[in-house]
Amino acid sequence: MNQPNALTGAARPVAAGLPLIRLRAVTKVYGTGEIALMALKGITCEVRAGEFVAIMGPSGSGKSTAMNILGCLDTPSSGQYLFLGAHVEALSRDQRARLRRRYLGFVFQGFNLLARTSAQENVELPLLYRGEGAAARHLAATKALRSVGLGGWEHHTPAELSGGQQQRVAIARAIVTEPAVLLADEPTGNLDSQRSQEIMELLVALNRDHGITVLMVTHEPDMAAYARRMVHFIDGRIDRDEPNPHPAGLDLPATVEATI
Ligand code: ADP
């Protein structure tokens, strides 16, 4: 099998515009026999490095299933998933975990921070898993927290932070490994509209200023409006895949200041 050179060495920055992700006729079937359910019915889609894509669609349309496959947490039942030209569907569990650690960052609706642990330590965690030394972890986490507007909040625990700030910590944790792709699943689902806008502006800035590809599931058209491309799922298929000619947030200053 075509084993990925790109995935066996150290992660390198991926030049903007390069094909990063290719799904070819991807299906996902849950269960077997009479209770088998086809959650994805043949998804074909390409994402280039540097894109900002909103994945939309009604509940049950297959968005989470697609995100789990894109995030290498699950594998297709049939079809192909190429990441930087490597066949993900042919990788072992360990190889997929390595790909995840090197190239992907995750942001969830519920923040998923460790409760009695400082912002700094939460952000250092992925680097600890990667075997980085204390000094390198400290430096990278401090930088990541600063880049999400949380310089000075390093020693606060999640309970001492607002929802918007907690999501910023979660974003810092996702970007501390310098991933090529940020996978965000309803990142503003637990936030009020002001905080939601601020989080979206942060994602726009990370995409624009750091070249991080963003794939974001959202129900909310106001949030999808920040993306430069919208992919609509219906009943396990892509119903529409269209550019957003006038994305929100493009007029943001180069550095997003925290306002929370
Ligand atoms: P969405 O994220 O758009 O709400 P999902 O990908 O969660 O959609 O679900 C797509 C379909 O697959 C739904 O019918 C859902 O009930 C089903 N499904 C999702 N996960 C599982 C699972 N682990 N086992 C069985 N069915 C599942």
Ligand 1 atom at minimal distance to the Cα of residue 66: 6
Query: Domains of the chain (ranges plus CATH)?
Result: 2-243 (3.40.50.300)
Return the C-alpha torsion angle 160, 162, 168, 171, nearest 10.
80
Ligand 1 center to 114 CA (angstroms): 27
Question: Which atom of ligand 1 sits closest to the CA of residue 57?
Answer: 3
* Burial class (CB within 10 angstroms; exposed 0-12, middle 13-18, buried 19+) of 217: buried
Name all residues whose Cβ lies below 6 A of ligand 1: 30-31, 37, 39, 57, 59-65
Atom of ligand 1 nearest to the CA of 68: 6
Question: Whole-prediction pTM value?
Answer: 0.91
Residue 17: pLDDT band with limits 50, 70, 90: confident
| pLDDT class of 16 with cuts at 50, 70, 90 | confident
Tell me what pLDDT residue 13 has. Answer: 67
Give me the residues paired with residue 52 across strands: 214
Cα(60) to centroid of ligand 1, in Å?
6
Tell me how far the alpha carbon of residue 215 lies from the centroid of ligand 1, in angstroms.
19
- Integer Cα distance of 180 and 64 in angstroms: 20
How would you label 23-36 residue by residue, b for 16+ Cβ within 10 Å and e otherwise?
bbebbbeeeeeeee
What are the pLDDT digits (tens) for 77-114? 999 999 999 999 999 999 999 999 999 999 999 999 99
